Structure 1
Amino acid sequence: MFDSQPASADLPPAPSSPAAALPQLPQPLPRTGQFAGRVAIVTGSESGIGRETARALCAAGAAVVLNGRQAERLELTRQQLAAAGYLVAACVADVTDYAACETLVATALREFGRLDILVANASISQRAYFADMQPDVFRQVLDSNVYGAVFPLKAALPHLLASRGSVTFISSISALNGMPSGSAYCAGKAALTNLAHTLRLELDGTGIHFGVVHIGFTQNDDDKRVLDAQGQPVPIAHRPPRWQKTQAEVAAIIVKHIRRRRQRTVISALGWLIAIVHTYAPRLGDWVVLTTMRRMRNFYE
Structure 2
Amino acid sequence: MFDTNPMAGTLLTASPTLSRPPAVVRTGPFAGQVAIVTGSESGIGRETARALCENGAAVVLNGRNAERLEQTRLAFAQAGLAVASCQADVTDYADCERLIDTAIREFGQLNILITNASISMRAYFADMQPEVFRQVLDSNVYGTVYPLKAALPHLTKTRGSVTFISSISALNGMPSGSAYCAGKAAVANLAHTLRLELDHTGIHFGVVHIGFTQNDADKRVLDAAGRPVPIAHRPPRWQKSQGQVAGIILKHIRRRRQRTVISALGRLIVLIHTYLPRLGDWVVLTTIRRLRHFYE
TM-score by length of 1: 0.90
Instruction: Measure how far apart 1:187 and its partner are.
Output: 0.2
- State the aligned residue count: 278
CA contact (8 A) 2:62 2:69 kept: yes
Q: 1:95-140 deviations in whole A, cap 9, x for unaligned?
A: 0000000000000011101000000000000000000000000000
AA at the equivalent of 2:73: R
For structure 2, the residue ranges without an aligned partner over 5 or more in a row are 1-17
Matched residues in 2 for 1:206 and 1:106: separation? 21
For structure 1, the residue ranges without an aligned partner over 5 or more in a row are 1-23
Instruction: Measure how far apart 1:221 and its partner are.
Output: 0.3
CA contact (8 A) 2:20 2:83 kept: no
1:194 paired residue among 175, 189, 194: 189
Question: Do the aligned partners of residues 30 and 70 (structure 1) sit closer, same or farther apart at CA in structure 2, a change above 3 Å counting?
Answer: farther
CA contact (8 A) 1:29 1:38 kept: no
Matched residues in 1 for 2:138 and 2:271: separation? 28
2:89 paired residue among 64, 87, 94: 94
Matched, 1:241 2:236: yes
Paired residue for 2:206? 211
AA at the equivalent of 2:155: L
Paired residue for 1:164? 159
Matched residues in 1 for 2:25 and 2:95: separation? 27
Tell me which stretches of 4 or more aligned residues in structure 1 moved more than 4 Å.
24-30
Matched residues in 1 for 2:97 and 2:63: separation? 14
Point out which structure has higher relative CO (alpha carbons under 8 A, 6+ apart).
2
Secondary structure of 1:36 counterpart? coil
CA contact (8 A) 1:102 1:152 kept: yes
CA contact (8 A) 1:26 1:110 kept: no
Paired residue for 2:76? 81
Instruction: Measure how far apart 1:204 and its partner are.
Output: 1.0
Instruction: Measure how far apart 1:205 and its partner are.
Output: 2.3
2:60 paired residue among 61, 65, 72: 65
Paired residue for 1:3? none
Instruction: Measure how far apart 1:29 and its partner are.
Output: 8.4
Matched residues in 1 for 2:251 and 2:25: separation? 19
AA at the equivalent of 2:283: V
Matched residues in 1 for 2:266 and 2:76: separation? 31
Identity within the alignment, %: 80
TM-score by length of 2: 0.92
Q: 1:212-258 deviations in whole A, cap 9, x for unaligned?
A: 00000000000000000000000000101100000000000001100
Matched, 1:129 2:124: yes
Matched residues in 2 for 1:94 and 1:132: separation? 27
Question: Do the aligned partners of residues 26 and 88 (structure 1) sit closer, same or farther apart at CA in structure 2, a change above 3 Å counting?
Answer: closer
Matched, 1:281 2:276: yes
Matched residues in 1 for 2:25 and 2:114: separation? 19
Question: Do the aligned partners of residues 30 and 262 (structure 1) sit closer, same or farther apart at CA in structure 2, a change above 3 Å counting?
Answer: farther
Secondary structure of 2:199 counterpart? coil
Paired residue for 2:10? none
Structure (1 or 2) with the larger CA radius of gyration: 1
Secondary structure of 1:94 counterpart? coil
Question: Do the aligned partners of residues 115 and 30 (structure 1) sit closer, same or farther apart at CA in structure 2, a change above 3 Å counting?
Answer: farther
CA contact (8 A) 1:58 1:86 kept: yes
